[in-house]
Amino acid sequence: MQILSSLRTLCCVLLLSCCALCGAQTPVSPQRAAQMVAAITSTAASTRTLRADFVQTKSLRMLNHKLTARGRVIFAAPARLRWEYLAPTAYVLVIDGEKVTVRSGKNKHSIDTRQSQIFAQIAQIMSESVTGRSLADTRRFAVRLFDEGSTWTAELTPRNGALKRLFATVRLRFDAKRRVVTRVDLVEHNGDATVIEMQGVQVNQRLDAHAFQVD
């Protein structure tokens, strides 16, 4: 289905990075990792709203070519998310509870995530990755953490199911002081990589009343 393809693509967008990102580094100790996860999840739990601009760069392993797109993301707890491309083409995906709506050009599609487990999983991971809530889900992910001073990096490896089939590795970069996501990296099994850099992240600000509507 077209909407499933859109969700898979945007989920990859939300959640990759060059394989060398953490390769030469040593993960923190279990005790330090527990402290970092506690700090991030505490901030995530207090995040009522989040909005940011983003630049997405897609690198294709088989081609010496990069695709760049720009857009914005808006999140409201517990499970409302708007992921919108503004350039080079307009594209909108909105998750509002158990409803997912995609608009591409003049075409609009909606689905109830209760009809499909994979839809539900993808919608959940998209919302959780924006704030870092996914770090606490050790049932679905094996997590390694790296402390780089002003930046923390979390490397997530899906353990099973649909997420394992979608991603080889997910990496989230956090501003260590604010504990908010500043970069989302996704590595696919074929080596393709998507890097999303978040800019101008605003937390707990008032959102437009129509932020999660798709006209």
What was the pLDDT predicted at 21? 37
> Which of 83, 68, 56, 74 lies closest to 196, judged by CA?
56
Q: What secondary structure does DSSP assign to the chain, as a single string?
A: -HHHHHHHHHHHHH----TTTTTTS-PPPHHHHHHHHHHHHHHHHT--EEEEEEEEEEE-TTSS-EEEEEEEEEEETTTEEEEEEEESS-EEEEEETTEEEEEETTEEEEEEGGG-HHHHHHHHHHHHHHHTGGGG-TTTEEEEEEE-SSEEEEEEEE-SHHHHHH-SEEEEEEETTTTEEEEEEEE-TTS-EEEEEEEEEEES----TTTT---
pLDDT by residue, tens only, the chain of 215 residues: 445 555 555 555 454 333 333 444 789 999 999 999 889 888 888 999 999 999 999 888 777 778 899 999 999 988 899 999 999 999 998 988 888 888 988 899 888 877 766 666 666 666 666 666 667 667 778 889 999 999 999 998 888 776 787 778 888 899 999 999 899 888 888 888 889 999 999 999 999 989 999 97
pLDDT score recorded for residue 22: 40
DSSP state of 215: -
pLDDT at site 121: 67
* pTM of the entire predicted model: 0.79
The reported pLDDT for the residue numbered 44 is: 85
| pLDDT of 19 | 31
Residue 87: per-residue pLDDT: 95
| CA atoms lying within 13 Å on the CB side of residue 131 | 26
What the chain holds in terms of domains, given with CATH numbers, is 2-18+28-203 (2.50.20.10)
